[in-house]
Amino acid sequence: MSISAYNLRVKGQVQGVGFRPFVHNLAARLGVCGFVKNGPQGVVIHAQAETAVLTQFKQRLLDEQPSMSLIETIDMTPAQVVPTLTDFSIKTSETGALDLGVTPDAAVCRECLAELFDPHNRRYRYPFINCTHCGPRYSLIKALPYDRKHTTMADFAFCQPCLDEYKAADNRRFHAQPNACATCGPTLFFHNAKGEKQASIDPIAETLEVINRGGIVAIKGIGGFHLACDGRNDEAVKRLRVLKQRGQKPFAIMAANPASLAPYIDLTVERTQRLQAMDAPIVLCPIKENQSSTLSKVIAPQLAWMGVMLPHSPVHHLLFHKAAGEPTGLKWLDQPQALLLVMTSANRCGNPLLIDNQKALTELTGIADGFLLHNRDIHVRCDDSVVSAVGEKPRLIRRGRGLSPQFIPLSCGFSIVDKSVLAVGSFFKNTLCLTKGDRAYVSQYMGDLDNPECCRALHTTVEHLTSLLGIKPDLVVSDLHPDFYSTQFAEHYSQEHSIPLIKVQHHHAHIASVVAEHQIKTPVLGVALDGFGLGLEGELWGGELLYVHQGEFTRLAHLSPLTLPGGERAAKEPWRMAAAALYDLGRGEEISQRFADQPGADLIGQLLDKQLNCPTTTSAGRLFDTVAGLLGITTTNQYEAQAAMMLESLAYTYLQNHPWPEASPLIDSVDGNLNCAPLLAAISHCEDAGYGAALFHQQLIDGLARWISEQSQRTAVTKVVLAGGCFLNALLTDGVTRQLQANNIDLYCAEKLPCNDGGIALGQAHIALEMEVKKSASFEQNSLNKNNTQLQTCNHVGQVVSDGAVNSAEIKRCV
């Protein structure tokens, strides 16, 4: 029998997922000798067996890999046979320069739940049960490689039974780093409203008792704290709104299972699967029209959908288990349960999610009536991920627990640059991106950079991820806007570390984020619709059609400008946008009467007459605000995009019982730009707000589809990218998608990242890398004349476009 030996290096998300135990057991079944160990770039395997067996071994590594793993590559090279190797073992981790994927946290698995609710199991009702298939990962990792000593579990020494499981190759907890039990692991405890620890034998019962009497409890979970109350108690939900200064911003509901949610929301197979996925996100689902009156009406006021989620940690499951009377087994988990919990991030308005016990006890005083705490530290905060399942396909709104910081594969061409990039994102929904080779690591959501705590979170996340991933940035990238804290941070970081700073236009980054995700190498037309981004000359952009290729862009067209009376204030008060629209339509005399209940309505006309503090913007977000104001849907945005979400909800509800409005085109093209004035004039006369909302969506869908199709024909570019926060609108995105695909246009949207500002950092990093590729040796091997011709042609494209005479052949020459 001829024995061969190979060394295998497995890269990807392969640490913290039970990969080494999986390899060990697979080798045992196939009769392969050797060893496996964690390394600084993944997992290292030495395997010895017959050649045919080793071929099978490699294939089965791919086919049977653990559910939480994500193999990127397996490099297999011949090695020397070691005669003394007669079995297969797990060895101590290697050290060295890091190039690793980091595993996100995962919801508790069914096998662990079976033990959790089995009175005869030693982990019966143990709140920190986990195994190699589930449990905390990213939130407790301090350093890589992924070993217990590098996690917040380092302070908890194994008891003998847990150590035996850890060492047993046939056990589900074989080399499970967070493995623990009630004897040796973290513990749960309860504090009252004054922060005093209670000598309770059952903290879960204490928590449920406070919730049942209408109280609010701060609950420490996997990636941070939640504030929870009874979702069936209207007064409790209203009180939580007041204490958290939440206004009308929607809450999410946690239920024991999909069956418990069925009376309230429309659950499809796809929505149910998304709820039950390992990342266990909040999923926005349509509210049933004739839903039961049990649920509080103030959870998602004036919206047609509601955020729902299932328990993702053992602690959450135990609350529902206690409420159900502590049944044994798993059968109860598939049956409807009465308890419905409002679950919202535990923080004061605008601050980052709380993760520290003492800070929670201090900062939530006066809000929480009790605190369910534990002594396992959270090293990295991770808010819940949020997914919209309202439209034809799920769309990511927020990337957090369960998804971050999974890497995004980049074009392999970036490997030749050999430079790492730190991109620091935008102002709203801030995330950062670090690149290394052909990988981009996008951080969890950190919040809006409008308060000191969120700004500090940017600093700490940069420090943690650069250290964890072993990345020393060679470039730092920011937005153009000088007042964004992220821009100021990048300027300081550039000076402190003596590395170049690149500033990228906001909407270019939106488009580039999708280009990066889909590894598009040819030119695209990018449509970016959002609330705000600074243009190249300081203009307020937000409804843009760009030609994008190789780190550069040309602005082909945009939405016709709208006036912002009062400047930034108009973005928070849709009635001002409506007033400006009436003025531009020559009906300024209607303003004071139509908005008589709004302070300053009688002065708006004077501001507009004199053009005092009345900048203009091409923002699509402000277009939505204008329509909402004209229809009388809302006068004030109490949270970001409230008017736009209410407008979409109204249209969605209208279309459940009516067909799409039929009307002649009310959006036209003026000098290539999209003019919505005729539509606004028609909307201003609508007496039925539901019809008006549906009409607006129908006209905008048709107008955008015609606009994009015309530009595609003129430029001979058939790849189109849709990006920006407005494309979270399911009616808009689904409608535009259908029409463009019918015109044989290849359409690309964000899938692994949000299309809003949560994806900006990836786009910034991608643009920087594209610019570096053009400077690299491989690019310079092309003739200098060709380079100069391309750059001249690209610049000429901008000129001929602005002249309204695009020559598609000239644009093709830019490729």
Active site residues: 20, 38
The DSSP secondary-structure symbol of 227 reads: E
Residue pair 697/648 in contact (Cβ under 8 Å)? The answer is: yes
Q: How far apart are CA 225 and CA 354, in angstroms?
A: 6
CA distances from 560 to 401, 563, 611, 622, 720 (A): 39, 10, 18, 12, 21
Give DSSP secondary structure letters for 758-814. Answer: GGHHHHHHHHHHHHHHHHSHHHHTS-HHHHHHHHHHHHHHHHHHHTT---HHHHHTT
Q: How far apart are CA 410 and CA 416, in angstroms?
A: 12
Give DSSP secondary structure letters for 701-713. Answer: HHHHHHHHHHHHH
Q: How far apart are CA 144 and CA 531, in angstroms?
A: 39
Cis amide linkage into residue 145, ω under 30° from 0:
yes
Q: How far apart are CA 681 and CA 666, in angstroms?
A: 9
Kindly report the backbone phi and psi dihedral angles of residue 365, in degrees, each rounded to the nearest multiple of 5, phi listed first.
-60, 130
Cis amide linkage into residue 405, ω under 30° from 0:
yes
Residue pair 48/33 in contact (Cβ under 8 Å)? The answer is: yes
Written as six digits, the tokens of 185 are 């692991």
715 closest CA partner among 809, 813, 814, 815: 809
Q: How far apart are CA 123 and CA 127, in angstroms?
A: 9
Strand partners, 37: 44
Using DSSP, state whether 417 is helix, strand or coil.
coil
506 exposure class (CB count in 10 Å sphere: 0-12, 13-18, 19+): buried
Kindly report the backbone phi and psi dihedral angles of residue 220, in degrees, each rounded to the nearest multiple of 5, phi listed first.
-85, 120
Strand partners, 503: 478
Residue pair 542/622 in contact (Cβ under 8 Å)? The answer is: yes
Q: How far apart are CA 22 and CA 794, in angstroms?
A: 52
Q: How far apart are CA 562 and CA 616, in angstroms?
A: 5
For 362-391, give one letter per residue: b (16+ CB within 10 A) or e.
Answer: ebbeebbbbbbbbebbbbbbbbbbbbbbbb
Written as six digits, the tokens of 76 are 């297999």
The DSSP secondary-structure symbol of 115 reads: H
Q: How far apart are CA 543 and CA 623, in angstroms?
A: 9
Helices 642-655 and 689-715, interaxial angle, to 10°? Answer: 100
707 closest CA partner among 692, 722, 688, 687: 722
Residue pair 554/517 in contact (Cβ under 8 Å)? The answer is: no
Sign of CA dihedral 467, 470, 475, 479: negative
Residue pair 668/675 in contact (Cβ under 8 Å)? The answer is: yes
Written as six digits, the tokens of 38 are 């964690």
Give DSSP secondary structure letters for 43-77. Answer: EEEEEEE-HHHHHHHHHHHHHS--TT-EEEEEEEE
Helices 689-715 and 730-742, interaxial angle, to 10°? Answer: 40
Give DSSP secondary structure letters for 316-335. Answer: HHHHHHHHTT--SSSGGGGS
